[in-house]
Amino acid sequence: MRKEASKPRAVLPNATPRLREEYQIGRKLGQGQYGITYLCTHKSSGTHFACKSIPKRKLVCKEDYDDVLREIQIMHHLSEHPHVVQIKATYEDSVFVHLVMELCAGGELFDPPSRSFDQIIVGVVEACHSLGVMHRDLKPENFIFESTDEDAKLKATDFGLSVFYKPGEVFFEVVGSPYYVAPEVLRKHYGHEVDVWSTGVILYILLSGVPPFWAENDTGIFKEILKGELDFKSDPWPNISESAKDLIKKMLEMDPKKRISAHEVLCHPWIVDDRVSPDKPLDSAVLSRLKQFSAMNKLKKMALRVIAERLSEEEIGGLKELFKMIDTDNSGTITFEELKEGLRKVGSELMESEIKTLMDAVTKFSLCDIDNSGTIDYGEFLAATLHLNKMEREENLIAAFSFFDKDGSGYITFDELNRLKHHQIHVGHFVSKLRYSLFKSGIGNFLLLMH
């Protein structure tokens, strides 16, 4: 039971502008346990968004405030994923915390089953787990379509019960929704495997139209979940493929240690349309970002480091937790062995030489002197794992440009680039200096020659 003690004044670490200075608030879109969602319109651009407003009077203790901040951090942390609702901005006043998100107006996931829908849902779970996030409240109501168009994207939303976790970490708090909660949650001893169980329940419902564990009240539902008996005899199960039933059995395995992982679900024959499962593992989100970073030109890598250092706590909180998960000895740096083990835990199977190449690509471009320690510090890790959508924001690009434009002339010159220690970056012979527009367009192409 949470006690109303040492209640903080603010959720966000820094003061923000007032929401109504930048957005026009419209009609109510929905209401959940902790907040109300409104249609809102950005005054400058006229773009429509959804605004989830959480009354601070419902936050009775420090843990409640921490929960809201963590939800914001997790949404930023998952911002790369095309099937996760994007958070745009956060605001706080004396009465509310406001989360401005992309508007999804296409309705909830209760349509006829489709392998593509199942793949999307499990893909979100796999991305969460590879980034050290456990959702804990997966259900059809938390997946919505971005619009009413036929080809609209399905997006995951509501990360209010989500938490950061380390592999092997055990949780005890009973959370989730009755039909979808895993048996180990009811036993108050669980880990990230609960998300696969909940996804298995969703798949069962999408295929049959009814939940696998049903009773007239919550207590009855929980008793049925703890029994774990699946009905594959009633209609429509006789007409559903054995492959689909095999997958559901593996997802609704009572023993979480024997339960199939999210990555293994994505490789199951039913999900991959009965083709042979891929023999090459999918890259985890961490590995994908490290590979992207290693392939960048020097200026882009350095710009990401600048941007990483100016982001707010709510934007980089997820990466901070991820760094702590990999830095198992809490030394403040990640060694080769720690990176290798961290990637292994999230399903990556790289050779040691490949991991060494990735480490070299990260540590080679620090903005300070390198001590050749062969480790990745926190700043380097942030730059290497920061998603590229942060670079697309105008204010971040301007900040990065200003870092290189030391004299504030509005141009980056040869001298300014060459003053950066250990970074021989030269502008191509056809460009004598870079103004902002060229910097913005050239940061991702071959405008820069690296030496």
Distance of CA 67 to the CA centre of its chain: 16
On whether the CB atoms of residues 69 and 159 are closer than 8 A, the answer is: no
Tokens read off for 109: 């996931």
For residue 42 the two structure tokens come to: 């950005």
Q: Which residue has the tokens 């849902």?
A: 121
Q: Which string of DSSP letters, residue by residue, matches 358-416?
A: HHHHHHTT-SS-----S-EEHHHHHHHHS-GGGTTSHHHHHHHHHHH-TT-SSEEEHHH
Residues annotated in a binding site for ATP: 62
Element (H, E) at 359: helix 352-363
Q: Which among 64, 67, 118, 137 is annotated as catalytic?
A: 137
DSSP string, 148-159: SSTTPPEEE---
Does residue 67 have an active-site annotation?
Answer: no
157 vs 143: CA distance, rounded Å: 6
Is-contact 325 342, C-beta < 8 A? yes
Instruction: Tell which residue, 112, 39, 44, 126, has the closest CA to residue 81.
Output: 126
321 in Cβ contact with 164 (< 8 Å):
yes
Q: Which residues of 315-331 are buried (b: 16+ CB within 10 A; e: fewer)?
A: bbbbbbbbbebbbeeee
Which backbone phi and psi does 245 adopt, to 5 degrees? -65, -35
Q: Which has the closest alpha carbon to 365: 289, 414, 297, 449?
A: 297
Residue 122 CA to residue 326 CA, distance in Å, equals 24
- Residues annotated within the binding site are 62
Cα 398 from Cα 196, distance rounded (Å): 42
CA atoms within 13 A on the CB side of 443: 21
Full DSSP string of 29-69 = EEE-SS-EEEEEEETTT--EEEEEEEEGGG--SHHHHHHHH
CA distances (Å), 281 to each of 153, 253, 264, 364, in order?
Answer: 25, 23, 9, 28
What is the C-alpha to C-alpha distance for residues 345 and 342, in angstroms, rounded to an integer? 5
Tell me the two tokens of residue 325.
């998960």
CB 65 within 8 A of CB 11: yes
Residue corresponding to tokens 């048996």: 183
Which residues are annotated as catalytic? Answer: 137
